[in-house]
Structure 1
């Protein structure tokens, strides 16, 4: 038996990387019957929020929720998880770069420590756990195809500014 999960993720940051920046991340699970479940998180003030940190945090939320859902199942199905993101950076981190960075001691091609290493390592560890139970794929989608997660992120940011 296969248990299919499809998540749409998005991260956003207002005043990206600047003093007073606020960031949020969201993950939306599309249910078979057409409904959704959603989760979101406000990014902490330190380290300073950026769009890239928000996008990776959104993937972490999806991975965490996939693990929670898997652990509540009464059966032991094979997982088939797809995480959609409109961030090429986040998708490339999970599909390609994380493997190179691990083998290079977390040094990027310019010779510096990888930015957002803390979050990328966390996402990679969750990814490893889920891949023991099946497959996890990360797919880039255009922003216009990610409106449900984008709207949730913006709603969280709007609420933070009130």
Structure 2
């Protein structure tokens, strides 16, 4: 399974921020399937930010991969690749999450890891998926991620 993910936020860092995440799955023969998710508006959850949207997009891809796997009649070894134009999101999943979980979710500056709730959720989903196969996170240039970027912007447009 190959996923392209993107997250975005308008009004980043303000009380009226809106955020969305998008996931595009490449199917055989060049077709795609697309999912989006709006971020909570901050009333009871943290305010939307670009970083929260990017991690939410990865969560969305991991959830979809697990859902699709659960619907299969047999249990093949999975090979999942999640491509993102966010170095932050890719580094969270490939490097930093291991350090943070070992350090009690304290960052290098001695404070609590920002977006811990989402990163832990993504890590838990990643662990579940890795029981069934391989998961890779790959950084790609923004220009190579236009389908996910467009889907994310469409979802943001619908919130306005």
Q: Same fold (TM over 0.5)?
A: yes
Q: Deviations over 1:33-82 (max 9, x none)?
A: 21111111110012100000000000000000000000011111000000
1:22-101 aligned at under 5 Å gives the runs 22-46=18-42, 47-101=46-100
CA shift for structure 1 position 14:
0.3
Q: Is 2:120 the partner of 1:124?
A: no
Q: Deviations over 1:106-140 (max 9, x none)?
A: 00000000000000000000000000011000000
When the two chains are superposed, the root-mean-square deviation of aligned CA atoms in Å is: 0.5
C-alpha distance in structure 1 between counterparts of 2:25 and 2:69, whole Å: 13
Runs of 5+ consecutive residues of structure 1 not aligned to the other structure: none
Q: Partner of 1:103 in structure 2? A: 102
C-alpha distance in structure 2 between counterparts of 1:56 and 1:76, whole Å: 27
C-alpha distance in structure 1 between counterparts of 2:31 and 2:110, whole Å: 46
Q: Partner of 1:157 in structure 2? A: 156
C-alpha distance in structure 2 between counterparts of 1:17 and 1:39, whole Å: 25
CA shift for structure 1 position 95:
0.2
CA shift for structure 1 position 155:
0.5
SS at match of 2:99: helix
Q: Partner of 2:6 in structure 1? A: 10
Give the structure-1-normalised TM-score: 0.96
Q: Deviations over 1:3-22 (max 9, x none)?
A: xx000000000011211000
SS at match of 1:38: strand
C-alpha distance in structure 2 between counterparts of 1:134 and 1:158, whole Å: 36
